[in-house]
Structure 1
Amino acid sequence: MNHAIPVPLPSALVEHHAIDLERKYTDGWGVRVDDVAVAPSGDLYALHHVHRHTYGVDEEEADPAKADFGYSLITRMAPDGTPLDTAVSGQSDLARQDTTLGGPTTGLGEDLWWAQGLCVLPDGTLAATGPDDQTHLITPDLAAVTAHHGMPRWRDDASPRDPFAAWISTTPAGRLLCTASEYGIYNYANPLNNIVSITDQPLTAASKPTLRALASLDARPVKQTEADLRPDLLFDGKPVGMDHRPRPSLTEQLAELEPTSRPGDWYDARLGRPAVVREDLCVVPVFGHIYRSGSRGEPFAFALVTDQGEFAGLLGGMHRYHDSPFTGHCFEIAADPGRERIYHLNRYGLFAWTATGDLAQRLDLEDKRFKPLKHFTLMDCTPAGEVILAHRTQHLLLRIPSPSTLDCLGQVVEDAVRSYAKERAALKKRWQPTSWHWVGSAARVHRL
């Protein structure tokens, strides 16, 4: 099994824009891996972004070597990491886009950092999701976008509203666990993730299923009207909106669990991406307000919610300050439904829980055996139970095998980190990366 897998930039894109791969990101460009999804076949899909802003250059600059650009990329890789297909999509309609490598109107959204999540649907279709409940359906070979759903960014925008979800995960039976947005959360004019929901019907290019609301983050959105009701998002058989949504909210229940909490602890809280623990249970990240001056010690929780909307408890064993996910904003959670395990990685430790919420393992990242994990972000669990991490600066994926029991997680992680280092050295010789940027050509490059 390959433990280290590069996430490459297409050579055609690098050459077309004459990208200086040795240039520091503080100079106005960057590459980032945002999500990974794994198909039952073992194929890996990586969502990544590349952008450049050339300060002092006219926005209408025609020379692609000088012009600003921003692209979403999805790369499909074989189980051994061999690149098979890459889809390239222009992102921003606010700046000039070179349609040679993907136009801004038919691709993966309008905002430079729009696409944030990937999910392989039960029929093999790839769903790329993002804020404003944007959902794009893409063929498994990345050749075409077959459907798009989304809603206007601002509440007073008269554009058509056809949203679906900002995050999607699949259950073992093929249902979709999603988050949905609402206007008016904390009096914001733009939509924010507020509803955890589930579908009972498939999402296809021809049909969009109804979302059944399970839980809400904030139970009192401000100034909602009938125009904000969504016929595809239901609670107790009626559209969610105004005063109708699951109550008590997650933040209300969390405040009750902590009698010593301050009144404003959960104000302006945010909803993270839920993960499927088993067919009838999910875990939902909730984190408090993020302050510019630093938020370590602010409240956070990983709540267990059933597929009937019942609050089933919290993941335990984390210290509010010493294990804070606010350092580096590490709010990702991943679950292995086949073995009913839950994982979380932040700058202080790798945590593993059972489906009951009991902490089974905490690997301290100050331990030299596990310290390299500080540079990784948790992505996903594969159908085989492997944990996928992405290196934030080296643009490599680390695949950690599924431990036979959580008691041996430390040894499995130690072996995987050691193998990763050896494989990375071999990859450097073969790929010859520049400043850890892997440049190559997949068998097929698709312009979306």
Structure 2
Amino acid sequence: MPLVLPDSLVDIHRIDLAAPYSVRTSGGWGVEPLDVAAAPRGDVYALYILYRYTPGVEDDEPDPAVGNFRYRIITRYSPDGVPLATALCCPSHTGHWTSAVADGNEMTLCVLPDGVLSVNSHPDCTTLIAPDLSAVAATYRTEGRRAFEEFVPGDPFACSISATPSGRLLCMTTEYGVQGYGSSLANIVGVADGPLTADHKPSIRAVASFDPEPDRQTEDDLRPHVRFGGRAVGLRNRPRPALREIFEPGAARSKWALSEIYRPVAMSDDLFVVPMRARRGSRGGAFAFALVNDEAESTGRLQGMDPWKDSPFTGECFNVAAGGGRAFHLNRYGLFVWNADGELAVNLSTDDKAFQPLKNFTLTTCSPANELLLVHARQHLILRVPVPEDLAGLGTSVEAALAAYRKERTALKKQWAPIEWHWVQDGAQVHRL
């Protein structure tokens, strides 16, 4: 499935598809994949960024062929991989529409049990979008809190959402003052059992925290919809011991100072994986994929990864996916699969020639049909890898998927005639959200 660029967007901004990428600070343009989500009915959604930055160009440059820009793009695909619709949101440049989608960092997708698409970002911003990408149904938005700035309450929900097999919502929310920072950072993992709609925002019951005692909180930092022990999370009320305390009890926090958690995923309705890492780390640095249940109890971690040989710090690969009672992780050194007890069941090493191409992919999610969805960041393509019931056959399934990728990529090139792996869709249906 290609990450499509609408032809109208390419024409308006006169994008040179053959121009090489460059880092944002020194100029250039780029396409960056962010997330992929799958619906139970088989539809797939992809979220990615298109941007251009040219040093010396003023922010108010009126000519779209010259000016800097950034869009977040969402594309919906049919179960057989055909792009059905594309939506643009959160434009950064002037002179265009005001987006109803709450913009923010670390934006992710989730298909809710009723089929509505949820777009989530830091700090605790959630936007509900119609399944066909035609309209925004509701926006829960907040600016969070920052040091030395006036507090504005807003209407927050969560900075990430994942659906459990039965449709519970596994959420991550932020708190002010985590590890002493004067901003809102991810710190709470919780479960919401009610529906999230335009008319109803359910309570989130906290089941884990990362930092046990964020600094300098006030009554403003209480989030009434995030609860623990029957009271709003904040000040001194959150699950204890915190994950950082569990994984380095009694220590001076040397390994976990300046650390963070990533988006949690559900192995089942009541067992969750929470990736955590030392923020200032390199290969061999501290990380863990913690296991937490819905009774606010830590049940250990995913076992079997060597901190050096299997390090996710190479390439910054900390995503975990879950499906069928298993957890999956892909980094530059291999594809890892765990059972519900946290035991490593499969390790497909990229030292093996058959699996070396996996180094070029990023794992995003596991679909309800038990397919791993991988994104090739340079070729801007999504690959589906079926996960067999018997994990002994996973290696064969991965090899077959990689072979199919090469074959289908050739067919797509003939159909789309991409320039430098940029897939421009002629006459694309585009919604501005």
Aligned to 2:238: 245
Aligned-partner residue type, residue 77 of structure 2: M
* Structure 1 consecutive aligned stretches of length 4 or more whose deviation exceeds 6 Å: none
Separation (CA, whole Å) in 2 of partners of 1:150 and 1:375: 35
Alignment of 1:210-289 (within 5 A): 210-256=203-249, 263-289=253-279
Separation (CA, whole Å) in 2 of partners of 1:404 and 1:214: 30
Give secondary structure in 2 for the equivalent of 1:370.
Answer: helix
Separation (CA, whole Å) in 2 of partners of 1:145 and 1:425: 36
Separation (CA, whole Å) in 1 of partners of 2:344 and 2:406: 29
Separation (CA, whole Å) in 1 of partners of 2:175 and 2:128: 22
2:138 pairs with one of 147, 151, 155: 147
Report the aligned-residue RMSD.
Answer: 1.5
Aligned to 1:10: 6
Separation (CA, whole Å) in 2 of partners of 1:389 and 1:301: 22
Give secondary structure in 2 for the equivalent of 1:33.
Answer: strand
Contact 1:48-1:72 at 8 Å conserved across structures: yes
Query: Shift of the alpha carbon at 1:55?
Result: 1.5
Query: Shift of the alpha carbon at 1:444?
Result: 2.3
Select between 154-163 and 428-437 the one with higher mean Cα deviation.
Answer: 154-163
Aligned-partner residue type, residue 290 of structure 2: A
Matching of residue 333 in structure 1 with residue 333 in structure 2: no
Evaluate the alpha carbon distance shift between residue 352 and residue 399 of structure 1 in structure 2; reply closer, same or farther with a 3 A threshold: same
Contact 1:72-1:115 at 8 Å conserved across structures: no
Query: Shift of the alpha carbon at 1:297?
Result: 1.1
Contact 1:83-1:442 at 8 Å conserved across structures: no
Aligned-partner residue type, residue 299 of structure 2: A
Separation (CA, whole Å) in 1 of partners of 2:376 and 2:100: 26
Query: Shift of the alpha carbon at 1:400?
Result: 0.3
Aligned to 2:21: 25
Separation (CA, whole Å) in 1 of partners of 2:119 and 2:330: 23
Contact 2:102-2:139 at 8 Å conserved across structures: no
Alignment of 1:114-263 (within 5 A): 114=105, 116-155=107-146, 156-256=149-249, 263=253
Evaluate the alpha carbon distance shift between residue 325 and residue 180 of structure 1 in structure 2; reply closer, same or farther with a 3 A threshold: same
Matching of residue 380 in structure 1 with residue 365 in structure 2: yes
Aligned-partner residue type, residue 128 of structure 1: V
Contact 2:100-2:139 at 8 Å conserved across structures: no
Aligned to 1:34: 34
Aligned to 2:94: 97
Separation (CA, whole Å) in 1 of partners of 2:331 and 2:244: 22
Aligned to 1:314: 301
Separation (CA, whole Å) in 2 of partners of 1:232 and 1:263: 30
Query: Shift of the alpha carbon at 1:171?
Result: 1.1
Matching of residue 305 in structure 1 with residue 298 in structure 2: no
Evaluate the alpha carbon distance shift between residue 276 and residue 110 of structure 1 in structure 2; reply closer, same or farther with a 3 A threshold: closer
Give secondary structure in 2 for the equivalent of 1:372.
Answer: helix
Contact 1:91-1:107 at 8 Å conserved across structures: no
Contact 2:118-2:128 at 8 Å conserved across structures: yes
Aligned-partner residue type, residue 38 of structure 1: A
Contact 1:90-1:97 at 8 Å conserved across structures: no
Quick one: higher RCO (CA 8 Å, sep 6+), 1 or 2?
1
Separation (CA, whole Å) in 1 of partners of 2:283 and 2:55: 34
Give secondary structure in 1 for the equivalent of 2:220.
Answer: helix
Contact 1:72-1:108 at 8 Å conserved across structures: no
Which residues of structure 1 form unaligned runs of 5+?
none
Evaluate the alpha carbon distance shift between residue 269 and residue 245 of structure 1 in structure 2; reply closer, same or farther with a 3 A threshold: same
Separation (CA, whole Å) in 1 of partners of 2:124 and 2:302: 27
Aligned-partner residue type, residue 290 of structure 1: R
Separation (CA, whole Å) in 1 of partners of 2:236 and 2:59: 45
Matching of residue 108 in structure 1 with residue 101 in structure 2: yes
Query: Shift of the alpha carbon at 1:157?
Result: 3.4
Separation (CA, whole Å) in 1 of partners of 2:326 and 2:260: 24
Query: Shift of the alpha carbon at 1:150?
Result: 2.5
Separation (CA, whole Å) in 2 of partners of 1:299 and 1:200: 33
Contact 2:283-2:311 at 8 Å conserved across structures: yes
Evaluate the alpha carbon distance shift between residue 290 and residue 28 of structure 1 in structure 2; reply closer, same or farther with a 3 A threshold: farther
Contact 2:3-2:380 at 8 Å conserved across structures: yes
Separation (CA, whole Å) in 2 of partners of 1:132 and 1:85: 28
Contact 1:117-1:167 at 8 Å conserved across structures: yes
Query: Shift of the alpha carbon at 1:128?
Result: 0.3
Aligned-partner residue type, residue 61 of structure 1: E
Query: Shift of the alpha carbon at 1:442?
Result: 6.6
TM-score (norm 1): 0.93
Separation (CA, whole Å) in 2 of partners of 1:98 and 1:21: 24
Give secondary structure in 2 for the equivalent of 1:116.
Answer: strand
Query: Shift of the alpha carbon at 1:40?
Result: 1.1
Separation (CA, whole Å) in 1 of partners of 2:106 and 2:273: 22
Separation (CA, whole Å) in 2 of partners of 1:432 and 1:141: 27
Aligned-partner residue type, residue 312 of structure 1: T
How many residues are matched? 427
Contact 1:284-1:303 at 8 Å conserved across structures: yes
For 1:227-269, what per-residue CA distance to the aligned partner results, in whole angstroms no more than 9, with x for missing partners?
110110100100111111100000100113xx9x774111121
Aligned to 1:43: 43
Which residues of structure 2 form unaligned runs of 5+?
none
Separation (CA, whole Å) in 2 of partners of 1:288 and 1:263: 10
Aligned-partner residue type, residue 436 of structure 1: W
Matching of residue 390 in structure 1 with residue 383 in structure 2: no
Contact 1:29-1:51 at 8 Å conserved across structures: yes
Separation (CA, whole Å) in 2 of partners of 1:154 and 1:196: 19
Contact 1:49-1:73 at 8 Å conserved across structures: yes
Give secondary structure in 2 for the equivalent of 1:273.
Answer: coil
Contact 1:64-1:98 at 8 Å conserved across structures: no
Separation (CA, whole Å) in 1 of partners of 2:426 and 2:159: 30
Separation (CA, whole Å) in 2 of partners of 1:441 and 1:118: 26
Give secondary structure in 2 for the equivalent of 1:25.
Answer: coil
